[in-house]
Amino acid sequence: MDQNAVEVAGLTKAFGGVRAVEKVSMKVPVGQRRALIGPNGAGKTTLFNCITGTFFPTSGKIFLFGKDVTRLAEHRRTAMGIGRTYQITNVFHDLTVLENLILAVQGNSRQKWVMHRPVSAFSGSLKRAGKELDRVGLTDRTHDSVQHLSYGERRQLELALALASRPRVLFLDEPCSGLSPGERQRIAEIIREFPQDITVILIEHDMSIALGLADQVAVLHRGSIILEGTPDEVRANPEVREVYLGKV
């Protein structure tokens, strides 16, 4: 593929005097699995939020599939094919699992404006919702309220919501955070089975999962990218060991 799914050029985001992200440039080709690693406070989530449109960068440019989206509203970027999950589980607690999925499915269609027909009349979106639930293994929870889901199941739902909007680029913000080793493997398995044409950009603290899933890794430290390379190159790099894994 010659096209980049995501391109970031000289991106800076400052909160008051703190530069959370400073002059970051990065290109992610279509279909790549890219891991973003770095210690706490390195600016990974801020970089995500700038690219997905949660807030606008202080300076620099963002391109999605070659189109400049630096000043585009978040919901419009979603319509262009961005999907994301959140570090802190962000699902609809008072709704059922199925309703959560329907909201994700209809997000990019005109269906969200329909007022005169019940949700249950849209068999197409119900079917798609069911398929996404199947993919993350939540089919038996379809009609349960999210309140009754375990933390691990909510992380699975988080993934299902992002997938249900049929993204072309998926931003996963620590999908395994707070999970037991067994549950982590399960989430990693789900991510590995994503269709190959979906570009995945992943923040993950669990090194074995991050390096196991990624084709390319970018290491962030104090708001800047200090290294980009394959998982093996990253593992071997002494500087990364120092800032990320700690001095030996």
- Residue 240 CB, nearest distance to other proteins (Å)? 30
CB 63 within 8 A of CB 230: no
Q: What CA–CA distance (Å, rounded) separates 172 from 159? A: 8
**247 sits near other proteins (criterion: CB under 8 A):** no
Min separation Cβ 89 and other proteins, Å: 10
Residue 167 contacts residue 199 (beta carbons within 8 Å): no
- CB of 221 vs other proteins, minimal distance in Å: 27
Per rule CB under 8 A, is residue 71 in the interface with other proteins?
A: no
The DSSP H or E segment spanning 52 is helix 44-52
3-state SS assignment for residue 119: helix
Residue 139: strand, helix, or coil: helix
Residues 10-29 that bind other proteins (CB under 8 A): none
55 closest CA partner among 17, 14, 18, 7: 14
Within positions 189 to 228, which residues make up the interface with other proteins, using CB under 8 A? none
- Least distance from other proteins to the Cβ atom of residue 236, Å: 36
Number of residues that bind other proteins (CB under 8 A): 44
Instruction: DSSP for 175-243, please give it.
Output: TTTT--HHHHHHHHHHHHTS-TTSEEEEE-S-HHHHHHH-SEEEEEETTEEEEEE-HHHHHH-HHHIII
Residues 94-133 that bind other proteins (CB under 8 A): 94-96, 98-99, 102-104, 106-108, 111-122
Q: Judge contact between 45 and 55, C-beta under 8 A.
A: no
Q: What residues contact 104, with CB distance under 8 A and at least 6 apart?
A: 129, 132, 160, 161, 162, 164, 165
93 touches other proteins by CB under 8 A: yes
Based on CB atoms, which residue is closest to other proteins, 36 or 217?
36
* 180 binds other proteins per the rule CB under 8 A: no
Nearer to other proteins by Cβ, of 46 and 108: the residue is 108
Report the residue number, 116 or 247, with the smaller CB distance to other proteins.
116
In terms of CB distance, is 115 or 248 closer to other proteins?
Answer: 115
46 binds other proteins, rule: CB under 8 A:
no
Mutual angle of helices 97-106 and 123-136, in 10-degree steps: 120
Pick the piece of the chain touching other proteins (CB under 8 A) from 64-72, 83-91, 196-204, 231-239.
83-91
Beta-bridged to residue 59, according to DSSP, are: 12
Tell whether residue 48 is a contact of other proteins (CB under 8 A): no
Note the residues at the interface with other proteins (CB under 8 A).
Answer: 52-54, 73-75, 78-79, 83-84, 86, 90-96, 98-99, 102-104, 106-108, 111-122, 140, 142-144, 161, 165
